[in-house]
Amino acid sequence: AQRVTQPEKLLSVFKGAPVELKCNYSYSGSPELFWYVQYSRQRLQLLLRHISRESIKGFTADLNKGETSFHLKKPFAQEEDSAMYYCALSGRGGKLQFGAGTQVVVTP
Amino acid sequence: GAGVSQTPSNKVTEKGKYVELRCDPISGHTALYWYRQSLGQGPEFLIYFQGTGAADDSGLPNDRFFAVRPEGSVSTLKIQRTERGDSAVYLCASSLISDRRITGTQGNEQFFGPGTRLTVL
């Protein structure tokens, strides 16, 4: 069965500190994984996808098939990174399965 | 250009009533998805359309839920005999295409609407 697990509901970090959001998945086949972000009073939007292997807003995520993980990392957190982050896996037809989300709070 | 829009933004109804939630996708997007997000949870897939047809409705919780997209653009999610447990934010998303085999392009990126918050009293 497909599953996406985000073990942390809340991550509180200081500005300038590194931040890592954990995501583990289970999927039979080759997964396509995403990180979505929702800033306060804004709609859900794509942050990055594993297939593009790019850095967005300083965030990177590496797909580790051996550990079935897709953790999101940023070396120096900024206050504007405070948001809700969702890890998602794309299944047949492109439908997304989301994790429960991690709330990130960056304090000055 | 305009993004995905959803109406109404908020809907309060009484248990047992019928509701309709509307989604206007981005013009030209052939794939349209409905998700439901309960408090403290991530969005949960309900149904998706490729064009006018429902390609996958496996996420609809029961037969009280139904969705249509008659002209391949606007979609309506319909809930009959609402129950308190139906209270949630209903999200709509659209993408240019739905085929996940076409990777490495932005074609299947899903763009989300602002959601409709449904409260069943």
pLDDT, tens digit (0-9, with 9 covering 90-100), for A41-93: 999 999 998 877 788 899 999 899 899 999 999 999 999 999 999 999 987 77
* Nearest residue in chain A measured CA to CA from B46: A95
Chain A residues near residue B42 by CB distance under 8 angstroms: 4, 6, 86, 88, 98-101
Can you give the pLDDT at residue B104?
45
Q: Is B100 in Cβ contact with A96 (below 8 Å)?
A: no
Nearest to A95 among B40, B56, B109 (CB): B56
Instruction: Select from B103, B106, B111, B116 the residue whose CB has the most chain A CBs within 10 Å, as the one to mutate to test that interface.
Output: B103
Can you give the pLDDT at residue A94?
84
pLDDT tens string B22-54: 999 999 999 999 999 999 999 999 999 999 999
Q: What is the share, in percent, of chain B residues with pLDDT greater than 90? A: 82
Q: How confident is the model at residue A30 (pLDDT cuts 50, 70, 90)?
A: confident
- The residue ranges of every structural domain in chain B are 5-101+110-116
The CATH superfamily holding the domain B5-101+110-116 is: Immunoglobulins (2.60.40.10)
CATH of A3-107, one of 3.40.50.300, 3.40.50.12280, 3.40.50.1580, 2.60.40.10: 2.60.40.10
Lowest mean pLDDT: which of A29-33, A84-88, B66-70?
A29-33
* Nearest residue in chain B measured CA to CA from A54: B104
* Nearest residue in chain A measured CA to CA from B89: A43
Tell which residue, A52, A39, A43, A35, has the closest CA to residue A78: A39
Residue B34 near residue B67, CB atoms below 8 Å = yes
Q: Is B114 in Cβ contact with A101 (below 8 Å)?
A: no
Structure-model confidence comparison of residues A49 and B1, the more confident one: A49
Nearest to A93 among B3, B56, B109 (CB): B56
Q: Is the pLDDT of residue B101 over 70?
A: no
Can you give the pLDDT at residue B98?
59
- The residue ranges of every structural domain in chain A are 3-107
The CA distance from A106 to A77, in Å, is 7
Can you give the pLDDT at residue B33?
96
